[in-house]
Structure 1
Amino acid sequence: MNKRWRWIATTGIFAAAIFILLLAFKPWEGQARVLTEDAVKRNLLAQYPGKINESLKKGSLYRMELETNHGIYEVELNAHDGEIVALHQLKAYTPQPTKPTAVPTATPKPTEAVTTSPTDTGATATPSPTAKPTASPNKPTPSPSVKPSSKPSNNGKLLGEKKAGKLAAAHVKGKVKDVDFKRSKNGSSYYLVEVDVKKRGDAVVQVNAISGAIMSVVWEDEDDDDDD
């Protein structure tokens, strides 16, 4: 009797062991449905757009070579569900920078001075900026109230007769004959320089004694003609 129960117990233990092994290894899963190569490719390209250069099935895995804009990859996928098991980059592509479209721009040309011909219709003569106004033919007494031309200051020091004579001679293009120092009632100082100018006669040039500015020019020959 004891032998019988012992045999039953042994058989039960053996059956339980086999059942446990079956649950652990699940040999029936080897007969599970395997996806086709095209189905696995579609699943891969849906996740990573590109093209598949090579494909190989090995056991329960598909091994494919995928090429995208970023490089070439070796991808391993589960043959049963198409899920990616491993992914390795074989070659990386360097992205090419997009060149901006060149927009032509007009190169500015240097401004050219336009001279107006006297024969042009509607042309208006523009006085030369270097032209200096001539004094009235009448011989008025040089007045210190005449505004001098813009000259640098001499820091309050007198030019001296020699310097004033040179400035006056250069202004009317002549030779100095006489230089007189004058001081007005309001305290301003100036020189009256008599200059001999060829083919024109004598000119009296009023020069500011401090700044050297030409204050006025009076032609003596013109005044003489008026007196006649």
Structure 2
Amino acid sequence: MNQIDLKDRVAIVTGGARGIGYAIAERMLRSGASVCLWDIDATALDAAKAELSALGQAHTATVDLTSISSVESAAASTLGAFGKIDILVNNAGIAGTNAKTWETDPAEWQRVMAINLNGPFHCCHAVVPHMLKNGYGRIVNIASIAGKEGNPNAAHYSASKAGVVALTKSLGKELATSNIIVNAVTPAVIETDILKQLTQQHIDYMLSKIPMNRFGKKEEAAALVAWLSSEDCSFTTGAVFDLSGGRATY
């Protein structure tokens, strides 16, 4: 594992109790950062903290990203624990149920948008003022290749992730002279437990679109996010980094 220097930095990772978020938190702790895991699942947070505390300072906040007041409370909790916020990784998200656009339940559309797009906005709204006060920040938004290509039977997910890409570009421009860097990552399929929920036929279909002929690893996502969260990433903002094994139709 190549060393990325995040010593003395304080990072928030949303959806940090499992999957890609957990891997990102682990990599950041190994790189010297203190990490606050934000997640809606309090039980999973407790388990993650118990494991990750062996690597460094790990704090948790149970938070509903669809609620601005909940997010603001989590930000206050993080500041109370560490005194500052240097890094924000907006990782939390849901896939939603699959259906044709015209057959999608409007309530399901709203649910996916509330978590996947409103959530990152709420987090940026709460955290950016603290970064501006300190004159430093790194924000990494986890979008999806679906936000570029538009996956069939997943218009809500695709549209929400396209929104995350646009949010990244707008915020990056707004903060370009503030020493606060904002970038996005657009993964294809990453190997997590969510694959267990899919049919082998659907897994084979997704794999066929990846030229490397394999899915990404959580550790690969964590490595990219760690670099984007570091001081070494200093002249790249408002950018979108594919993590797709070569998949591209745009």
Q: TM-score range by the shorter chain?
A: under 0.3
Q: TM-score, normalised by structure 2?
A: 0.18
Q: TM-score, normalised by structure 1?
A: 0.19
Q: Which structure: greater strand fraction? A: 1
Whose RCO is larger (CA < 8 A, sep 6+)? Answer: 2
Bigger radius of gyration: 1
Q: Which structure: greater helix fraction? A: 2
